[in-house]
Amino acid sequence: MDITTEPLTAEAFAPFGDVLSAEGAPDRLINAGKCGRYHDRAALSFFEGRAGVSIFKAEPHSLPYECDLLERHPHGSQCFIPMSEHPFLIIVAPDLGDRPGSPRAFLTNGAQAINFHRGIWHGVLTPLAGPGLFAVVDRIGDGKNLEEVRIAPPFRVRTS
Amino acid sequence: MDITTEPLTAEAFAPFGDVLSAEGAPDRLINAGKCGRYHDRAALSFFEGRAGVSIFKAEPHSLPYECDLLERHPHGSQCFIPMSEHPFLIIVAPDLGDRPGSPRAFLTNGAQAINFHRGIWHGVLTPLAGPGLFAVVDRIGDGKNLEEVRIAPPFRVRTS
């Protein structure tokens, strides 16, 4: 099966999580008007844990991309903040009774971060260019917070 | 008064906060070895509030930079994650009984985020290039969480 990337918008991504960007008017102007604050844009949710900030460094992938694994974190949301201006690929799927349904793929515009809501099925981190550096705000805590499902046969993600 | 920028290192910045980067070996390898996780690198601390993720878009500044204001947030740490690979300027100062002491200035290497510890005196966000886009993990909550001090005469920050 092939799926085609969609441009990432807040509306299209709403069933899966939040898009964090500086689009539109800021919620507040600070620093004598020199800085716009787009306030509190991620629905963070942590069960028996707390928020932490980690750095991820991931190998770049290329398109078309073959996806054979989806995962989810039942105990916490996960926010990915790119530390470069390169677009990255996001793969998500709705939940069909403990298994992922039909996947969708989104491509960021190079100035967007995203926050997966707690328990949302998603692919692993897939930058499309180096350095593949991200800050990640997710749950720090004990207990099993990872479910993985192999996808067989894999599906393929193409650009539109 | 003129001060000279220092390169940002974890050791030099330790009295003021944390440096988040992918230097050295990761704490864990995930995603079949394709991603390194540098785990939980910021000492987040929030008094009567919670963590949130906001986006800041700030006007770029140039060096030498004249600094006439320092501020601090008594109720929460504040983590700045650049969404580009451009270095940015960080100004901090030790506390001398409710007033800032001698300021220091650090320049990031383009692949570092930083976390100001709770209550640390610092300058406003000063990117040195566009787009000036940052994700910020700080305290969401009520109450006065900003103290500002005018610096007169201003000091000037130069590159070394």
Q: SS3 letters for chain A? A: CEEEEEECCHHHHCCCEEEECCCCCCCEEECCCCEEEECCCCCCCECCCEEEEEEEEECCCCCCEEEEEEEECCCECEEEEECCCCCEEEEEECECCCCECCCEEEECCCCCEEEECCCCEECCCEECCCCCEEEEEEEECCCCCCEEEEEEEEEEEECC
Distance from CA of A2 to the nearest CA of B (A): 22
Averaged pLDDT, B88-115: 97
Set of chain B residues whose Cβ sits within 8 Å of the Cβ of A81: 53, 81, 83, 135
How many separate domains does chain B show?
A: 1
Distance from CA of A146 to the nearest CA of B (A): 11
pLDDT single digits (tens) A26-54: 999 999 899 999 999 999 999 999 999 99
Q: Indicate which of A29, A35, A50, A53 best probes the interface with B, i.e. most B CBs within 10 Å of its own CB.
A: A53
Question: What is the predicted ipTM?
Answer: 0.97
Set of chain B residues whose Cβ sits within 8 Å of the Cβ of A56: 35-38
Averaged pLDDT, B70-74: 97
Strand-pair partners of A104: A92
Torsion over CA: B38, B84, A139, A78 (sign): negative
pLDDT above 90 for A18: yes
pLDDT above 90 for B98: no
pTM to 2 decimals? 0.97
pLDDT above 90 for B18: yes
Residue range of the domain that includes A88 = 2-158
Chain A's closest residue to B50, CA to CA, is: A51
Indicate the Cα dihedral angle B38, B114, A110, A132, nearest 10°: -20
Name A32's Cβ contacts closer than 8 Å, sequence gap at least 6: none
* A109: CATH: 2.60.120.480
Residues 87-116 of A with CB under 8 A from B: 111, 113, 115
Set of chain A residues whose Cβ sits within 8 Å of the Cβ of B51: 44, 50-51, 137
Under a CB-based contact definition with an 8 Å cutoff, are residues A79 and B53 in contact? yes
pLDDT above 70 covers what percent of chain B?
100
pLDDT single digits (tens) A93-148: 999 988 999 999 999 999 999 999 999 999 999 999 999 999 999 999 999 999 99
Q: Give the nearest partner residue to B113 out of A79, A83, A113, using CB atoms.
A: A83
Is A57 in Cβ contact with B44 (below 8 Å)?
Answer: no
